[in-house]
Structure 1
Amino acid sequence: MSVFRDGILDGRVALVTGGATGLGLEIARTLGRHGAKVAICSRKEDNLRPAVDELVSQGIEARYGVCDVRDMAQVERVVAETVEAYGRLDVVVNNAAGNFPAPLTGLSPNGFKAVVDIDLLGTFNVSRAAYDAWLGAHGGSIVNISATIQYTGMALQAHVASAKAAVDALTRTSAIEWGKNGVRVNVVAPGGMTGTEGYSRITAVTGTKTHSPLGRHGTRHEVADAVLFLASDAASYITGATLAVDGGAHLAR
């Protein structure tokens, strides 16, 4: 049972990148269960098709588009298709990300660039395309999925921490520039979340011990609820903010 009122996103349309699996699918499900029509995008149609089938089976109006967020032409096509299909676009969640553990001495320039391109360039591409196609004229909410490892640093994650720090900076800057058009831009910064690909990859190397003062890792549902809050009218006067969802782990790391 959700702590949020049913229908708080009724009449709204949300686009979730990386929405076919893991955290992205949970975010799409949560937004859809609270009234939004949902579009998800990812690079692999084999993942997208069953994800949409799952959402529809749960009573959520959903569609998908195949898209590499690093390619602006593909991004613009998916955004345009979403607006054409649903008649509007109110919420954008930049969730698509790359992550693999690697020490600096074992990290190639191409590996570093790949994560920066997906996380940072992808966030810019989707935000800009959505702004140009709809948000700039009608307002709305952008929620960027970041992390907390850039606050303290973390071994094996230099590429990810660097990309996410840049996403945080992009969020604050776009919040300043686009606020006059009624566009709110915020960050949800998850810590270690069970049931995600990133969690599995990192804990396979580092183990599952948590630094959280709450004594546990988080769940995808808890991150999705934070996104729902920022996307809703409950956060109507919040922009340029970072909501850390890590049980305080970055404070104790």
Structure 2
Amino acid sequence: MGSRCPIILLLGDPRPEAFIDFQAWDPRRVGDKVAFITGGGSGIGFRIAEIFMRHGCHTIIASRNLSRVSMAAEKLANATSQRCLPLSMDVRSPTAVMAAVDQALEEFGKIDILINCAAGNFLCPASALSFNAFKTVVDIDTIGTFNVSRVVYEKFFRDHGGVIVNITATLSFRGQVLQVHAGTAKAAVDAMTRHLAVEWGPQNIRVNSLVPGPISGTEGFRRLGKVLREPRAPIKASRPW
């Protein structure tokens, strides 16, 4: 694999011409592979699915909202001529995860790549954050990442190897207002990634994380956009002097 320019994603634009690919890798590396992508119905997960499928990879995209993920799967299949299986799955429920992974294996016979992209986030000061709201974000981001990784490992990767990519965030790198819940959850995912990489590496399972910054056109950016555009304002407002 030579040194190439990276892929550029124009998120939020579903047109085929919005996909710009500078051949970051040899397409044959994912041809005929099967990728299981949580949170694949929109945003980053959707575009990861599109990239893989345009390079010959079949995908499973899973989300709690079956209607939304089904429409996304239809768009992806029509645009790429590859198979895309939509599944309803709550990453917080091990039972739901096991059922979804079983269905994926029944359909494709294997899973080569797992992308943990399901996440929850919103803006809230720590003083106003309810106990349940904090727990919900940790349950989706952290517990959900472990649940899916653990089930895919048990049902396929342990005996066949595979690749896991956890989508995290820059929120855990430094303190930021209104994001204690998401920053904490993503910091745990970063730690989990390192531990699983060491533990499962000898079994031919590669575990890595991808840490994107703010990306326009995603649901997360729409929710956090004002703060992202004016990141210093809440910091200045919180100063006691």
How far did 1:50 drift?
0.7
Matched, 1:100 2:122: yes
Match of 1:216 in 2: none
Which of 34, 59, 72 is matched with 1:13 structurally? 34
Unaligned runs of 5+ in 1: 212-253
Residue aligning to 1:73:
95
Shift of 1:113: 0.2
Query: Which of 197, 201, 206 does residue 223 from structure 2 map onto?
Result: 201
- Which of 204, 208, 215 aligns to 1:182? It is 204
Distance in structure 1 (CA, Å) of the matches to 2:230 and 2:49: 29
- Residue 77 of structure 1 and its aligned partner are, at CA, apart by 0.9
- Give the unaligned 5+ runs of structure 2: 1-19, 233-241
Q: For the residues of structure 1 that align with 2:46 and 2:118, how far apart are their CA atoms?
A: 11
* Corresponding residue number in structure 1 for 2:131: 109
1:2 is matched with which residue? 21
- Match of 2:236? none
Matched, 1:42 2:63: yes
Q: Could you say which residue in structure 2 is the equivalent of 1:125?
A: 147
What is the Cα deviation at residue 207 of structure 1?
4.9
- SS at the partner of 1:141? strand
Partner of 1:29: 50
- Scaled by the length of structure 2, the TM-score of the pair is 0.84
Instruction: State the number of aligned residues.
Output: 210
Q: 2:85: which partner in 1?
A: 63
Show the counterpart of 1:238: none
Output the amino acid matched with 1:133: K
Cα displacement (A) at 1:199: 1.2
TM-score (norm 1): 0.80
Q: Of the two, which has the highest radius of gyration? A: 2
What is the CA–CA distance in structure 1 between the aligned matches of 2:77 and 2:213, rounded to whole Å?
A: 29
Does the CA contact (< 8 Å) of 2:171 and 2:183 recur in 1?
yes
Give the alignment's Cα RMSD to 1 decimal. Answer: 1.3
Measure the CA separation in 1 of the matches of 2:87 and 2:156: 18
Q: Equivalents in 2 of 1:139, 1:3: separation in Å?
A: 28
Query: Secondary structure, in 3 states, of the residue corresponding to 1:93?
Result: strand
Q: Secondary structure at the match of 2:111?
A: coil
Moved segments of 4+, more than 3 Å: none
2-structure distance, mates of 1:186, 1:177: 13
% identical aligned pairs:
41
Higher RCO, 1 vs 2 (CA within 8 Å, ≥6 residues apart): 1
Distance across 2 between alignment mates of 1:210 and 1:26: 26
Question: Contact 1:142/1:186 (CA < 8 Å) preserved in 2?
Answer: yes
2:161 aligned residue (114, 139, 155): 139
Q: Decide whether the 8 Å contact of 2:32 with 2:56 is kept in 1.
A: yes
Determine helix, strand or coil for the equivalent of 1:187. strand
